[in-house]
Amino acid sequence: MRLVDPGNIVHANDQGSLATLVLTRPSAVLFTLPARSLDDIRDAMARGPVEVVAYDQDNRRALATGKLLLVDNIIDQTTATIRLKAMFPNDDEKLWPGEFVNAHVLLDTRSAAVVDSLGRRPARTERPVRLDRHREQPGRAASDRGRPDLPGSDGRHLRPQPAVSAS
Protein backbone atom coordinates (compact mmCIF):
# COMPACT_ATOMS: atom_id res chain seq x y z
CA MET A 1 0.00 0.00 0.00
CA ARG A 2 1.39 3.36 -0.92
CA LEU A 3 1.88 5.94 1.77
CA VAL A 4 3.39 8.52 -0.61
CA ASP A 5 2.30 9.23 -4.16
CA PRO A 6 4.49 10.63 -6.95
CA GLY A 7 4.47 14.41 -6.76
CA ASN A 8 3.95 14.60 -2.96
CA ILE A 9 6.32 16.91 -1.12
CA VAL A 10 8.17 15.05 1.64
CA HIS A 11 9.90 16.86 4.51
CA ALA A 12 12.43 15.41 6.95
CA ASN A 13 10.25 16.24 9.94
CA ASP A 14 6.94 14.88 8.56
CA GLN A 15 4.97 12.80 11.09
CA GLY A 16 3.95 10.12 8.59
CA SER A 17 6.31 7.41 7.43
CA LEU A 18 7.35 6.75 3.86
CA ALA A 19 7.05 2.99 4.13
CA THR A 20 6.17 0.27 6.61
CA LEU A 21 8.38 -2.81 6.51
CA VAL A 22 7.19 -6.03 8.08
CA LEU A 23 9.59 -8.90 8.55
CA THR A 24 8.05 -12.26 7.65
CA ARG A 25 11.17 -14.45 7.94
CA PRO A 26 11.66 -15.03 10.82
CA SER A 27 8.25 -14.22 12.24
CA ALA A 28 7.38 -13.44 15.84
CA VAL A 29 4.16 -14.46 17.58
CA LEU A 30 3.01 -12.68 20.74
CA PHE A 31 0.52 -14.55 22.91
CA THR A 32 -0.73 -14.79 26.48
CA LEU A 33 -1.09 -17.67 28.91
CA PRO A 34 -2.60 -17.86 32.41
CA ALA A 35 -0.18 -16.60 35.04
CA ARG A 36 -0.56 -19.87 36.98
CA SER A 37 1.53 -21.57 34.26
CA LEU A 38 4.51 -19.25 34.79
CA ASP A 39 6.46 -21.66 37.02
CA ASP A 40 6.01 -24.54 34.56
CA ILE A 41 7.20 -22.35 31.68
CA ARG A 42 10.23 -21.09 33.58
CA ASP A 43 11.15 -24.66 34.60
CA ALA A 44 10.89 -25.80 30.98
CA MET A 45 13.04 -22.87 29.79
CA ALA A 46 15.68 -23.76 32.40
CA ARG A 47 15.88 -27.30 30.93
CA GLY A 48 16.45 -26.01 27.39
CA PRO A 49 14.68 -24.55 24.35
CA VAL A 50 10.87 -24.66 24.59
CA GLU A 51 8.96 -25.63 21.45
CA VAL A 52 5.92 -23.61 20.37
CA VAL A 53 3.56 -24.72 17.60
CA ALA A 54 1.34 -22.14 15.87
CA TYR A 55 -2.05 -23.47 14.74
CA ASP A 56 -4.62 -21.79 12.51
CA GLN A 57 -7.52 -19.91 14.09
CA ASP A 58 -9.67 -23.06 14.07
CA ASN A 59 -6.94 -24.85 16.03
CA ARG A 60 -6.92 -27.70 13.51
CA ARG A 61 -3.86 -27.26 11.29
CA ALA A 62 -0.30 -26.69 12.45
CA LEU A 63 1.19 -23.75 10.57
CA ALA A 64 4.71 -23.54 11.98
CA THR A 65 6.99 -24.75 14.75
CA GLY A 66 9.28 -22.35 16.58
CA LYS A 67 10.96 -21.66 19.90
CA LEU A 68 9.87 -19.62 22.90
CA LEU A 69 12.02 -16.50 22.97
CA LEU A 70 10.95 -14.64 26.08
CA VAL A 71 8.41 -14.24 28.85
CA ASP A 72 7.33 -10.73 29.81
CA ASN A 73 8.43 -9.78 33.31
CA ILE A 74 5.03 -8.34 34.26
CA ILE A 75 1.82 -10.23 35.04
CA ASP A 76 -1.27 -8.42 33.79
CA GLN A 77 -3.27 -8.04 37.00
CA THR A 78 -6.58 -7.38 35.22
CA THR A 79 -6.53 -10.67 33.28
CA ALA A 80 -4.06 -12.73 35.38
CA THR A 81 -2.06 -13.54 32.24
CA ILE A 82 1.54 -13.34 31.12
CA ARG A 83 2.73 -12.31 27.66
CA LEU A 84 5.14 -14.52 25.75
CA LYS A 85 7.00 -14.19 22.46
CA ALA A 86 7.95 -17.07 20.19
CA MET A 87 10.09 -16.93 17.05
CA PHE A 88 9.35 -19.02 13.96
CA PRO A 89 11.68 -19.44 10.96
CA ASN A 90 8.62 -19.16 8.68
CA ASP A 91 10.60 -20.30 5.63
CA ASP A 92 7.39 -21.42 3.89
CA GLU A 93 5.65 -18.14 4.87
CA LYS A 94 2.59 -19.86 6.34
CA LEU A 95 2.52 -17.23 9.09
CA TRP A 96 1.40 -13.81 7.92
CA PRO A 97 1.62 -10.48 9.80
CA GLY A 98 -1.59 -9.74 11.69
CA GLU A 99 -2.90 -13.29 11.31
CA PHE A 100 -4.71 -14.82 14.30
CA VAL A 101 -3.04 -18.05 15.46
CA ASN A 102 -3.29 -20.35 18.47
CA ALA A 103 0.04 -21.04 20.17
CA HIS A 104 0.67 -24.42 21.80
CA VAL A 105 3.64 -24.56 24.17
CA LEU A 106 5.35 -27.93 24.72
CA LEU A 107 6.54 -27.93 28.32
CA ASP A 108 7.54 -31.56 28.77
CA THR A 109 7.91 -34.79 26.83
CA ARG A 110 7.32 -38.09 28.59
CA SER A 111 8.70 -41.25 27.10
CA ALA A 112 6.91 -44.58 27.51
CA ALA A 113 3.72 -42.86 28.66
CA VAL A 114 0.48 -44.84 28.46
CA VAL A 115 -2.44 -43.05 26.80
CA ASP A 116 -5.86 -44.13 25.59
CA SER A 117 -7.16 -43.79 22.02
CA LEU A 118 -8.20 -40.18 22.67
CA GLY A 119 -4.71 -39.18 23.79
CA ARG A 120 -5.57 -39.01 27.49
CA ARG A 121 -3.50 -40.62 30.20
CA PRO A 122 -5.60 -43.24 31.97
CA ALA A 123 -6.44 -42.58 35.58
CA ARG A 124 -4.41 -44.62 38.01
CA THR A 125 -6.49 -46.75 40.31
CA GLU A 126 -4.93 -47.02 43.71
CA ARG A 127 -6.31 -48.52 46.86
CA PRO A 128 -4.79 -47.63 50.20
CA VAL A 129 -3.79 -50.79 52.03
CA ARG A 130 -3.09 -51.14 55.72
CA LEU A 131 -1.63 -54.45 56.78
CA ASP A 132 -3.31 -56.31 59.61
CA ARG A 133 -1.18 -57.47 62.49
CA HIS A 134 -3.23 -60.57 63.32
CA ARG A 135 -1.21 -63.75 63.41
CA GLU A 136 -4.07 -65.82 62.00
CA GLN A 137 -4.13 -63.88 58.72
CA PRO A 138 -0.68 -62.43 58.01
CA GLY A 139 -0.68 -59.95 55.17
CA ARG A 140 -4.48 -59.53 55.08
CA ALA A 141 -5.37 -55.97 54.14
CA ALA A 142 -7.67 -54.27 56.63
CA SER A 143 -9.62 -52.76 53.76
CA ASP A 144 -10.49 -56.29 52.53
CA ARG A 145 -12.58 -57.02 55.62
CA GLY A 146 -16.23 -57.41 54.89
CA ARG A 147 -15.71 -58.70 51.39
CA PRO A 148 -17.62 -61.98 51.08
CA ASP A 149 -15.39 -63.12 48.24
CA LEU A 150 -12.41 -63.32 50.61
CA PRO A 151 -12.16 -66.20 53.08
CA GLY A 152 -12.05 -65.45 56.77
CA SER A 153 -14.31 -62.39 56.72
CA ASP A 154 -17.75 -62.04 58.30
CA GLY A 155 -18.21 -58.39 57.41
CA ARG A 156 -16.81 -56.88 60.59
CA HIS A 157 -14.15 -59.07 62.19
CA LEU A 158 -11.83 -61.77 61.06
CA ARG A 159 -13.11 -65.18 61.99
CA PRO A 160 -10.65 -67.54 63.63
CA GLN A 161 -9.85 -70.43 61.38
CA PRO A 162 -10.58 -73.92 62.76
CA ALA A 163 -7.57 -75.76 64.05
CA VAL A 164 -6.35 -78.61 61.89
CA SER A 165 -5.72 -81.87 63.72
CA ALA A 166 -3.63 -84.68 62.34
CA SER A 167 -5.45 -87.92 63.17
User: Which pLDDT score, from 0 to 100, does residue 138 have?
Assistant: 47
Assess contact for 69 and 83: CB atoms under 8 A. no
Neighbouring-strand partners of residue 86: 29, 68
Angle at 83 between CA 67 and CA 105, to 5 degrees: 35
pLDDT of residue 9: 81
Q: Write down the pLDDT at residue 108.
A: 87
Question: Would you identify the CATH topology of the domain 27-106?
Answer: Elongation Factor Tu (Ef-tu); domain 3 (2.40.30)
Q: What is the pLDDT of residue 22?
A: 76
Q: How far is 145 from 136, CA to CA, in rounded Å?
A: 14
Does the pTM surpass 0.75? The reply is no
- In our burial notation (b when 16+ CB lie closer than 10 A, e otherwise), range 94-123 reads bbeeeeebbbebeeeeeeeeeeeeeeeeee
Bridge partner list, 131: 141
What's the pLDDT at 79? 94
Domain ranges of the chain: 27-106
Mean pLDDT by 10 residues, the chain (167 residues): 76 76 87 94 95 94 96 95 95 92 90 70 58 51 51 50 53
Query: Distance (Å, rounded) from C-alpha 47 to C-alpha 85?
Result: 18
Report the C-alpha dihedral over residues 43, 49, 50, 52, rounded to 10 degrees. 170
